[in-house]
Amino acid sequence: MDDPASNASGATGSGPIPKAVASRLSLYLRELQHLIEQGEETTSSSELGRKLGFTDAQVRKDLAYFGHFGYPGIGYRCDKLVGAIKKILGTDQQWHAVLVGAGNLGRALLGYKGFQRQGFRVVAAFDTDASKVGSQIEGVAVVHLDQLTEFAKANRVRLGIIAVPAPAAQAVANRLVAAGVEGILNFAPVTIELPDTVRQVGVDLAIELEQLSFAIVTRGEPPTG
């Protein structure tokens, strides 16, 4: 292989990317984008590892899952690596998402600039509150939930974001599934059941704080994992 960067999706031969690796790829991507903004053209496994708290060996192993991007003695070209990681994560394309729930959290998500930057576009917000329907929030139209399916089909919507109170989450999830989304990001603090054709990621803000308090109370007696 003459051009070591020519093999973005062809994978070195290690097969599918382990989930543990995928979660780190997003962090590498964020850090690489940051380095590029600072004018860096290359980086190394030890620099990435130091910034993110991983060993250099782990960084190299992770990056070798999907191609030969490094140059011995030099390191990695940031831009090439960004392109390759985006391809793996699927964010080399743009994803259309809908948000359900135009409450406090929903509004904050609509104003969040980071989604756009990483290839996600929230194309509409849905709610059942008549006082919200018809308005615009951060430039995004608030539409009645009853029009979800129609809208989703017409606008190539593939992702749904749930930001409604816990008791409403499952019903909203069912509607999103009926509307044909392929994945759901769930901010409601409740487990939702989905057909296994639809992927989900759950974010529970209170659980994040619990994990922090756990880390504090076990300080000095560091956990095994």
Using DSSP's 3-state secondary structure scheme, residue 208 falls into helix
- DSSP-derived pairing of the beta strands 95-100 and 120-127: parallel
Strand partners, 183: 159, 199
- Cβ atoms of 75 and 40 closer than 8 Å: no
CB of 64 to DNA, least distance (A): 4
Site residues (CB under 7 A) for DNA, limited to 8-27: 12, 18-21
Query: Which one among 82, 95, 99, 162 touches a second copy, defined by CB under 8 A?
Result: 95
Spatial contact of 80 and 42, defined as CB atoms under 8 Å apart: no
User: At closest approach, how far in Å is the CB of 219 from a second copy?
Assistant: 7
Cβ–Cβ < 8 Å for 98, 127: no
Residue 77 in contact with DNA, rule: CB under 7 A: no
Stretch that binds a second copy, among 54-62, 74-82, 101-109, 168-176 (CB under 8 A): 101-109
**Binders in 24-63 for a second copy, by CB under 8 A:** 25-27, 29-31, 34, 51-52
Shortest distance (Å) from residue 38 CB to DNA: 17
User: Exposure pattern of 18-33 as b/e (b: 16+ CB <10 Å)?
Assistant: eeebeebbebbbebbb
Question: What mask, x for binding DNA by CB under 7 A, covers residues 45 to 64?
Answer: xx-------xxxxx-xx-xx
Among 72, 104, 154, 195, binds a second copy (CB under 8 A): 104
CB of 223 to a second copy, least distance (A): 5
DSSP letter at 12 equals: S
Rounded CA-CA distance 160/183 in Å is 6
Q: What does the binding site for DNA look like in residue numbers (CB under 7 A)?
A: 4, 12, 18-21, 44-46, 54-58, 60-61, 63-64, 68-76, 223-225
